[in-house]
Amino acid sequence: MAPTKYDEKPEPGDLIEIFRGGYQHWVIYVGDGFVIHLAPPSEHANAGAYSMMSVVCDRAIVKKEEIWDVVGSDEYRINNLLDDTYEPRPIRAIIREAESLVGNQLPYCVVRGNCEHFVTELRYGKPESRQVRKAVEIGVGVGVAAMVGIGVCAIAAALFGSKDKEKQTK
């Protein structure tokens, strides 16, 4: 069941992961019911497949919005995913920097500068995206599997092809 407005209570500086279907949108909670996030033009609650168009955007806007306007009816969770790896920056520094960026248009790249990179840099001082890393790992795995599959087919074709030639010459 999706969390409701009364379940998880974020604290200022918390990262919130919103499940949009094929990907996650990330925001940082700044208090009083507001979040700040990097949003390509197609990114909004309940955008569905249309939000996937963010992959073609090269600019995004830093927005401050009410959490429920961003979450909409999607599932979400508080996910300070790198707390075990990095020391979070002081909350006041996180909030001050996030607030100073509101309204700015920033470069956007799904692979090198997406909403997850944006919030992890605010919280930890390190721009990282686990969903990009996971997609790359899956892509590499699929690529390797495809290459192995092609190699097996090529070997089989060579073996069976040579046997067929032997039969034809006999």
What is the mean pLDDT of each successive set of 10 residues along the chain, which is 170 residues long? 64 95 91 95 56 66 95 94 96 98 93 93 95 59 43 46 51
Catalytic residue among 44, 115, 117, 153: 115
158 lies in some domain: yes
Do 166 and 86 lie in one domain? The reply is: no
Asked whether residue 133 is domain-assigned, the answer is no
Looking up tokens 């990097």, which residue turns up? 38
> 66 and 96 in one domain?
yes
Nearest to 114 by CA among 44, 63, 169, 40: 40
Considering the domain architecture, whether residues 116 and 149 belong to the same structural domain is answered as no
Residue 117 bears catalytic tag: no
Q: Are residues 69 and 150 in the same domain?
A: no
- 160 assigned to some structural domain: yes
Judgement on whether residues 167 and 119 belong to the same structural domain of the protein: no
Assess contact for 109 and 46: CB atoms under 8 A.
no
The pLDDT of residue 7 is: 67
Written as six digits, the tokens of 53 are 């168009």
Are 107 and 145 in the same domain?
Answer: no
Active site residue 115: yes
The reply to whether 5 falls in a domain is no
Q: State how many domains the chain has.
A: 2
Is 134 inside any structural domain?
no
φ, ψ for residue 113 (rounded to 5)? Answer: -160, 65
Based on the residue annotation, tell me whether 109 is a catalytic residue of this protein: no
Looking at the fold, whether 90 and 155 belong to one and the same domain comes out as no
Residue 1 lies in a domain: no
37, 44, 109, 117: the catalytic one is: 37
Same domain, 75 and 145: no
Tell me the three state secondary structure of residue 15: strand
CATH number at residue 67: 3.90.1720.10
Query: Is 10 a member of any domain?
Result: no
* Single-letter amino acid, residue 65: E
d(CA 102, CA 98): 7
What is the extent of the structural domain holding 24? 15-128
Are residues 29 and 109 part of one domain?
Answer: yes
Q: Are strands 34-39 and 24-31 parallel, antiparallel or unpaired?
A: antiparallel
In DSSP notation, 21-90 reads SSSEEEEEEEETTEEEEEE-TT--TT-GGGGGGGGG-SEEEEEEEEHHHHHTTSEEEE--TTTTTSPPPP
Q: Which of 25, 44, 117, 153 is catalytic?
A: 25
